[in-house]
Amino acid sequence: MKMLKELLDSARKAREQAYCPYSRFPVGAALLTSDNEIFAGCNVENLSFGLTVCAERTALFSAVAAGKRQFSGMVLLTDTPEPVTPCGACRQALYEFSPNLWIVTANLHGQQRVYRLCQLLPDAFLAKI
Ligand code: THU
């Protein structure tokens, strides 16, 4: 529970850093590693719109760059009437590392929903190559 509050705080702070002049839809994410470190991320947009990176992947890539590869939970925070779930691309990117990841989606009104990543991305792409 204490960890959830920390994750929500990290996601809230990260959301304040979102670079989203085109959508004006700031998103914050906080990813918990299996050794209990938190990596936060925000969405980063670009004038070349397709280059935009979601908050979830910003957090994930930051954690991987720090040597982390196993994750136990993620908080996703938006200012929406209902909490939103991660986009398909982020689900796939996260699945590669932690299919059983807990995902808590939250909004600024304090509503929260809890999912497992494997529930949000059934039959995910996974192959031995
Ligand atoms: N976005 C995220 O950061 N995470 C999601 O799960 C969905 C969408 C961002 C991308 C873009 O900057 C803005 O929200 C609008 O789509």
Is 45 labeled as catalytic in the residue annotation? no
Q: Tell how far the Cα of 111 is from the centroid of ligand 1, in angstroms.
A: 19
Exposure string for 4-39, b = 16+ CB within 10 A, e = fewer: beebbbbbbebbeebebeeeeebbbbbbbbeeeebb
Q: What is the mean pLDDT of residues 100-108?
A: 98
Kindly state the helix (H) or strand (E) to which residue 15 belongs, with its residue range.
Answer: helix 2-16
Say whether pLDDT at 18 is over 90.
Answer: yes
Q: How many domains does the chain have?
A: 1
Domain containing 46 equals 2-120
pLDDT digits (tens, 9 = 90+) for 26-38: 999 999 999 999 9
For a mutational test of ligand 1's pocket, the pick from 23, 78, 91, i.e. the residue with the most ligand atoms closer than 8 A to its C-beta, is 23
Structure confidence at residue 1 as a pLDDT band (50, 70, 90): low
Domain CATH for 92: 3.40.140.10
Residue 92, in any domain of the structure: yes
What is the model's pTM?
A: 0.97
Residue 126, in any domain of the structure: no
pLDDT of residue 110: 97
pLDDT of residue 2: 65
Which residues have C-beta atoms less than 6 Å from ligand 1?
Answer: 20, 23, 25, 27, 43, 45, 52, 54-56, 86-87, 90
Q: Report CA 51 to chain centroid distance, whole Å.
A: 17
Give the separation between CA 74 and CA 60, rounded to whole angstroms.
Answer: 10
Residue 128, in any domain of the structure: no
